Copies of this chain bind each other. A is one copy, B any other.
């Protein structure tokens, strides 16, 4: 999940050249001969872009700044970003006056002035940088860089907030375009699908072809009109006759193909975000729901919409549970299954039904009971789908016996069910009351108190308040 730097470099190259032609600027440093390239003073250019010169020559200035940024060393880039974070905030005097006025009067006008006065100048700067040809892609790339430095340079945080604020508006779902990806899609876009796939690595072009070309496979992506060759997020779908319990048969290149008209089930088996620079701007929820609608329209025979998902945090959680065994939360038999799994000595439950049952129970506890400080599921994939209103439908032991699958979850995979009729209620119950929607089968896995009449599990009180 990395930016396609060659694409970006090309783009930046052309922006820079263009920018240099357009603006006759005094560069920050005089070159001596060819090797020593003149470097523009990015801060001065940024100030210029925010002033009158920006109104007359905005496109050229924006191009020059973006070009200069990508030409600069990593240190110089961070320095400029930090300057933006610190010196391109709101006007302090105006803001203080507005704050006082609002406290004194409380009028709508005072609130409006306060809103305007508090907007950091960085936001207008980012909007004007977007004037450059290819500006949007460059800004997304810029934020991807910023995010890499965020931990080590915490002063960048306010700038990141501004980026996210603007990107949330610009990449509003209303501006996105859903496009089907298939074997007739341009190769440069497919190369990005290979690069961005984050769940089940695409091994080769043959592997890719096997995921796109057969009539029982689908792939959809969101695109933004300004990033026309670069998907934002995509989902891979298999059309099947029942809910699959393991991933390997779906990924096999040689396999029997189901006629789409015979399929009853659409399986979302991989969802990947593509743009590091759009972190915190969420599309996945919309993508799944719209793909469900598309598929329903195309293939009325489809009745079940379900994922086949990894459980990325299971091993990690079991490891912690083992250490805290004294808690008594799990029985010795259960811990005996967890031990080899955590130790990396687990090759799957195979024919051992008892071990499988134990692992299934442990996974159910993890997915339904383990919560973050904020009361949300610890497992990030569970958090996403349950947060969308999906229901935890089935836990599959030996669902993914690849090295990665064994390492992260002892081979366990999970189906989340997207039932449009209950999504909204599930979502509200989850967000409001911390409930987890689960099938009766999954709920039955949870210890003695067989609360069979409800399909959502109330969170233990302890987990519901932020620690």
Contact = CB atoms under 8 A, between A and B. Distances in A.
Interface stretch (A88-96, A339-347, A356-364): A88-96
Contacts of A103: 96, 99-100, 103
Nearest to A175: B226
A170 B173 contact: no
A209 B205 CA distance: 12
User: Quick one: copies of this chain in the complex?
Assistant: 4
Contact of A172 (B56, B120, B130, B431): B130
A80 interface: no
A53 B388 CA distance: 11
A108 B86 contact: yes
A174 B136 contact: yes
Interface stretch (A183-191, A238-246, A269-277, A303-311): A183-191
Contacts of A209: 187, 191
Contacts of A135: 174
B166 A169 contact: yes
A26 to B, nearest CB: 14
Most B CB contacts (10 A, CB to CB) among A114, A183, A185 go to A114
A103 B95 CA distance: 9
Interface stretch (A315-323, A324-332, A422-430, A441-449): A422-430
Contacts of A431: 52, 55
Interface residues of A, number: 70
A118 interface: yes
A64 to B, nearest CB: 13
A111 B118 contact: yes
Interface string A143-179: 0000000000000001001000010111011110100
B120 A115 contact: yes
A163 to B, nearest CB: 13
Contacts of A96: 102-103, 106
A451 interface: no
Contact of A56 (B58, B115, B166, B427): B427
A247 interface: no
Contact of A225 (B59, B132, B175, B428): B175
A3 interface: no
B169 A127 contact: yes
A334 to B, nearest CB: 35
Contact of A89 (B111, B119, B132): B111
A226 B177 CA distance: 10
A158 B111 CA distance: 10
B52 A432 contact: yes
Interface of A: 52-53, 55-59, 85-86, 89-90, 92, 95-96, 99-100, 102-103, 106, 108-109, 111-112, 114-115, 118-120, 127, 130-132, 135-136, 158, 161, 166, 168-170, 172-175, 177, 183-188, 190-191, 205, 209, 213, 225-226, 229, 285-286, 289, 388-389, 423-424, 427-428, 431-432
15 contacts: A56-B388, A56-B424, A56-B428, A57-B423, A58-B173, A90-B111, A99-B99, A100-B103, A103-B103, A111-B118, A111-B120, A130-B174, A136-B175, A170-B170, A186-B186
